[in-house]
Amino acid sequence: MRDWHGLAALFIMPAVFILVMSLALAESLSARQGIAIGYAVLDLDASPVSRTLDEQLGQTDVFTKHAPPSGETDARRRVEAGEIAFVLVIPQGFARQIGANKTPTLRFLLDPAVPRALREGFRQQAEAATIRVWLTHVLERLGQSMMLPELRRVTERVGAPEIVSEAVGLDGGGEVLAPPSSVQQNVPAWLIFSMFFVVVPISAVFIGERQRGTLQRLFTQRVSFGFVLAGKFAPFLLVNQLQAVVMVAIGRWLVPLCGGEALVLPGGASALAALWLLSLAVGVAAVGWALFIASIAHSSEQATVLGGAGNIVMGAIGGIMVPRFVMPPAMQPWTRLSPMDWALEGFHHVMLRHGGLSDALPVVAALVCFGLCALLAAILLGRRARD
């Protein structure tokens, strides 16, 4: 506990991590704000119809519109330079093709580094805008033939349909929940990830004891290996819980001060109790795992590699870095192997789906079992090594 630098790292690093990730992902995950990804329209047709398409596309507030390029060479240069992510090229004769009821071919220049989901999102918006332009043209012609000029303005009056997002809770009662912010989604994931990094200070202490001969001395004083481990379990569990409180406080108060959205804690005693139990269970799992790694590693280097890489693998499998639903279907069942996935599911039940104690208990039980099994394995391995 006197290793102030190690403890500070245990608190400061995850705090910075949560702050940066919450702010960095705030825009991309928020339904209320645009995405900083920019696009431009290269209108080679320069007709009233193509200008309408340009305007239609500009009405969507998801992507940021930039000044039109002077030509295709300029468009490609700006995409290559990373200035904009997409350029929609409206070909010459676009209006003529629409007028002739022919399907126009629009080209879409894109930065290959942009994620596929965003790419597809922009492409679908462009398609929708094109269809609206084409529909306007069809209605206009129909209005002319049926002597009903107001048909032309139908699409203008109706506008794009509005879809209101509602998150689905666990209560089954149809309570309308606001979609979660990025902070709400990120803090639990990075909190779990950070808590498992208790493996680094525990290993350092444990291996230091072994290398200095302190453990040997304790054994000659008839101190059992289990007692030695228990002596580390309790204080580091406390550190872990403090870590959780600090992380939540950062999400609740510091992130909004830095311009992000505040973490919203669930209301009600049951939900708060569930949250605390989950944090305790993650602590038991993380400290148990850390003691297991510390007891099998022979050097600090080994512990860092085993513990650090093990955490990253657990985080990658467990949906911390890549959400489970984004993974290919064949990979999704594998997430169940990671205790970080169990913990994340528990936190999502409570913080996003507004579940209570009964929803968290199965996850709590699984995490505690994992932690105790890891501790037991550490004791047995330590005993075998001594014998």
Partner 1 sequence: MIRIDRLRYRYRAAQPLALDGVSLDIERGGIYGLLGPNGAGKTTLISLLAGLLAPQDGGITIDGEPLAVWRAVHPAAIALVPQDYAFYPMLTVAENLAFFAGVQGLPRRQRQENCAEAMAFACLEAVAGRRAGELSGGLRRRLNLAIGLTGAPEVLLLDEPTVGVDPQSRRFMLDAVKRFAAAGRTVLYTSHYMDEVEAVCADVAIIDHGKVLTAGTLADVRRGGASALRLTLVRPLPEALAADWRARFPAMTATDNRVDFPGLASDGLAPLLTELAAAGVAVEHVAYGAPNLEQVFMRLTHHSLRD
What is the contact surface with partner 1 in residues (CB under 8 A)?
1-3, 211-214, 216-223, 227, 386-387
Q: What is each CA distance from 262 to 138, 160, 245, 258, in whole angstroms?
A: 48, 31, 15, 10
Q: Are strands 64-65 and 38-43 parallel, antiparallel or unpaired?
A: parallel
Q: Which of 173, 63, 210 is nearest to 125 (CA)?
A: 63
> Between residues 116 and 222, which has the closer beta carbon with respect to partner 1?
222
User: Minimal distance in Å, beta carbon 209 to partner 1?
Assistant: 8
User: Minimal distance in Å, beta carbon 223 to partner 1?
Assistant: 5
> Between residues 103 and 221, which has the closer beta carbon with respect to partner 1?
221
Q: Are 5 and 52 in contact (CB under 8 A)?
A: no
Q: Which of 61, 56, 68 is nearest to 36 (CA)?
A: 61
> Between residues 57 and 228, which has the closer beta carbon with respect to partner 1?
228
> Between residues 232 and 349, which has the closer beta carbon with respect to partner 1?
232
User: Minimal distance in Å, beta carbon 322 to partner 1?
Assistant: 39
User: What length is written for the chain?
Assistant: 387
User: Minimal distance in Å, beta carbon 245 to partner 1?
Assistant: 24
User: Minimal distance in Å, beta carbon 235 to partner 1?
Assistant: 13
Residues 6+ apart with CB under 8 A from 30: 181, 182, 261
Q: What is each CA distance from 55 to 51, 114, 157, 318, in whole angstroms?
A: 6, 24, 15, 43
> Between residues 49 and 202, which has the closer beta carbon with respect to partner 1?
202
> Between residues 96 and 217, which has the closer beta carbon with respect to partner 1?
217
d(CA 235, CA 147): 83
Tokens 């998801």 — which residue?
A: 62
Residues 6+ apart with CB under 8 A from 347: 188, 189, 191, 192, 275, 278
> Between residues 153 and 217, which has the closer beta carbon with respect to partner 1?
217
d(CA 320, CA 317): 8
**Rounded to 5, what percent of the chain is helix, strand, coil?**
65, 5, 30
> Between residues 133 and 215, which has the closer beta carbon with respect to partner 1?
215
User: Minimal distance in Å, beta carbon 206 to partner 1?
Assistant: 12
User: Minimal distance in Å, beta carbon 215 to partner 1?
Assistant: 8
Q: Which residues of 340-374 are buried (b: 16+ CB within 10 A; e: fewer)?
A: bbbbbbbbbbbbbbbbbbebbeebbebbbebbeeb
User: Minimal distance in Å, beta carbon 224 to partner 1?
Assistant: 10
Distance of CA 339 to the CA centre of its chain: 17
d(CA 163, CA 171): 23
Give the N- to C-terminal CA distance of the chain in Å, as an integer: 30
User: Minimal distance in Å, beta carbon 227 to partner 1?
Assistant: 8
> Between residues 210 and 349, which has the closer beta carbon with respect to partner 1?
210
